[in-house]
Chains A and B, each alone.
Chain A
Amino acid sequence: MKTFAELNFPGRLVAVEGLDGSGKSTQIYLLKRWLEQQRLKVYFSEWNSSELVKAATSKGKKRELLTPTTFSLIHATDFADRYERHLVPLLRAGYIVLCDRYIFTAFARDVVRGCPPEWVRGVYDFAALPDLTFFFKSDLEVSLKRILDGRPQLKYFEAGMDLRLSTDPYESFRIFQGRILEQYLAMSTEFNFLVIDANQLVEKQQAVVRELVTQKLRLADFHRAERAPSKPPADAHKKSKEEVAAS
Chain B
Amino acid sequence: MKSAAKNQIVVPHPTKRRFYGHGIPGVDLDRLAGKLIVVEGADGSGRSTQIEALVEWLEGTGHATVQVGLKRSTLVSEELERAQEGNILSRTTLSLFYATDFADQVENIILPALKAGFIVLADRYIYTLMARDIVRGMDEAWLKNLYGIAFEPDAVFYLNVPPEELVQRTFAKNATLDYWESGMDLGLSRDMFDSFMKYQTAMEKTFRRMQTTYGFTIVDGLRSAEAINAELQKKISAVLAGK
The reply to whether A56 and B75 form a contact with Cβ atoms under 8 Å apart is yes
Q: Which of A114-122, A166-174, A210-218 contacts B (4 or more CB under 8 A)?
A: A114-122
- In B89-116, the 8 Å CB interface with A consists of 89-93, 95-97, 99-100, 103-104, 107-108
The reply to whether B89 and A52 form a contact with Cβ atoms under 8 Å apart is yes
Residues of A contacting B201 with CB < 8 Å?
none
**Docked CA distance A77–B100 (Å):** 8
The reply to whether B146 and A69 form a contact with Cβ atoms under 8 Å apart is no
Q: Is B148 an interface residue (CB 8 A)?
A: yes
Query: Which residue of A67, A83, A118 is within 8 Å of B22 (Cβ)?
Result: A118
**Docked CA distance A68–B76 (Å):** 16
Q: Is B174 an interface residue (CB 8 A)?
A: no
Q: Is B62 an interface residue (CB 8 A)?
A: no
The reply to whether B145 and A123 form a contact with Cβ atoms under 8 Å apart is yes
Chain B residue at smallest Cβ distance from A114: B25
Query: Which residue of A55, A67, A69 is within 8 Å of B79 (Cβ)?
Result: A55
Q: Is B134 an interface residue (CB 8 A)?
A: no
The reply to whether B96 and A77 form a contact with Cβ atoms under 8 Å apart is yes
Q: Is A185 an interface residue (CB 8 A)?
A: no
The reply to whether A85 and B142 form a contact with Cβ atoms under 8 Å apart is no
Chain B residue at smallest Cβ distance from A120: B22
- In A64-87, the 8 Å CB interface with B consists of 65-70, 73-74, 76-77, 80-81, 83-85
**Docked CA distance A112–B96 (Å):** 21
Q: Would you give the shortest CB distance from A189 to chain B, in whole angstroms?
A: 24
Task: Knowing A77-B96, A81-B89, A81-B90, say if A52 contacts B25 (CB, 8 Å).
Answer: no
Query: Which residue of A65, A85, A126 is within 8 Å of B75 (Cβ)?
Result: A65
The reply to whether A65 and B26 form a contact with Cβ atoms under 8 Å apart is no
Residues of A contacting B100 with CB < 8 Å?
56, 70, 73-74, 77
Q: Is A53 an interface residue (CB 8 A)?
A: yes
Interface of B is mostly: helix
* Residue interface bits A90-132, CB-to-B below 8 A is 1, else 0: 0000000000000000000000011110110011011000000
Q: Would you give the shortest CB distance from A92 to chain B, in whole angstroms?
A: 14
Query: Which residue of B74, B88, B108, B146 is within 8 Å of A52 (Cβ)?
Result: B88
Q: Is A60 an interface residue (CB 8 A)?
A: yes
The reply to whether A69 and B24 form a contact with Cβ atoms under 8 Å apart is yes
The reply to whether A80 and B93 form a contact with Cβ atoms under 8 Å apart is yes
Q: Would you give the shortest CB distance from A213 to chain B, in whole angstroms?
A: 29
Query: Which residue of A65, A69, A80, A114 is within 8 Å of B149 (Cβ)?
Result: A69
**Docked CA distance A115–B145 (Å):** 13
Q: Is B21 an interface residue (CB 8 A)?
A: yes
Chain B residue at smallest Cβ distance from A123: B146
**Docked CA distance A236–B232 (Å):** 82
The reply to whether B25 and A85 form a contact with Cβ atoms under 8 Å apart is no
Residues of A contacting B99 with CB < 8 Å?
73, 77
Chain A residue at smallest Cβ distance from B141: A122
**Docked CA distance A1–B110 (Å):** 35
Residues of A contacting B74 with CB < 8 Å?
65
- In B190-217, the 8 Å CB interface with A consists of none
**Listed residue (B93, B103, B142) with the most chain A CB atoms within 10 angstroms of its CB:** B93
**Docked CA distance A39–B72 (Å):** 48
Q: Is A238 an interface residue (CB 8 A)?
A: no
The reply to whether B90 and A122 form a contact with Cβ atoms under 8 Å apart is no
Q: Is A239 an interface residue (CB 8 A)?
A: no
The reply to whether A122 and B79 form a contact with Cβ atoms under 8 Å apart is no
Q: 8 additional contacts, CB 8 Å, given A67-B103, A69-B107, A76-B96? A: A56-B76, A67-B104, A69-B24, A77-B93, A80-B90, A83-B92, A123-B145, A126-B139
**The 9 residue pairs across chains A and B that have the minimum distance between CB atoms:** A84-B90, A122-B145, A114-B25, A119-B22, A116-B22, A77-B96, A73-B100, A80-B93, A56-B79
Would you mind naming 7 contact pairs between A and B with Cβ atoms under 8 Å apart?
A56-B76, A70-B100, A77-B93, A80-B95, A81-B90, A84-B92, A85-B93
